[in-house]
Amino acid sequence: MALTKVDYVDGVTTIMAKNLNDIQNEVIANGTAITNQSTQISGKADATALTAETAAREAAVSAEATARAAADTALTSELDDVKSAISFFDDIPGTVQTVNFDANGNPSSIVHTANGEAVRTDSFTWGDNTVTEKRELTDGSYITFVTDLTTLVTTISDIQEA
């Protein structure tokens, strides 16, 4: 119901119950419309805020997953480097070493095997005053040591990564 404007004049215009009821009904209708509109606006604001919050959380989770994957890759690479260094410099745990000798009784090679598979082969070349040892992994990477038999100083003369 639309309220019709009435210019009330003191002592002239008669106020009747119908006028008051019309005014009251319009005030109540406007209050209800304002409440409904406010609820709709709040719902939209909440939905917008929730969508933005969800997007921010998804971005943060994605960034964290990316950072963790990068850290895992770096750690795996470092671990591979450490394993490779251990394979070059120490006996390889869990392997069996088979030593072969040359005609002079010097070790010519040591083959490290695990589960019947060669893991590393150490080859020795004997000189007048030196011994050269080449430690080679199955992936083709190797390191070569030369030891002076008088001073017992060992140097690394060559490194090749696969």
Residues 40 and 104 in one domain: no
Task: Identify which has the larger pLDDT, 48 or 66.
Answer: 66
Rounded Cα–Cα distance for residues 142 and 133 (Å): 10
- Answer yes or no: pTM beyond 0.75: no
**Owning domain of residue 18:** 7-90
Residues 13 and 86 in one domain: yes
Task: Identify which has the larger pLDDT, 157 or 18.
Answer: 157
> What single-letter amino acid sits at 80?
D
CB burial class (10 A; 0-12, 13-18, 19+) of residue 120? buried
Q: Which two tokens stand for residue 15?
A: 């106020």
Q: At which of 52, 68, 90 does a domain end?
A: 90
Q: Count how many domains the chain has.
A: 2
Rounded Cα–Cα distance for residues 12 and 6 (Å): 12
* Average pLDDT over every residue of 19-40: 75
1 domain-assigned: no
Q: What is the pLDDT of residues 78-119, one digit of tens each?
A: 656 555 554 555 667 788 889 999 998 888 999 999 898 998
Q: What is the pLDDT of residues 124-156, one digit of tens each?
A: 999 999 999 999 988 888 889 899 989 989 898
Rounded Cα–Cα distance for residues 74 and 30 (Å): 65
Residues 102 and 78 in one domain: no
Residues 20 and 67 in one domain: yes
Q: At which of 90, 120, 148 does a domain end?
A: 90
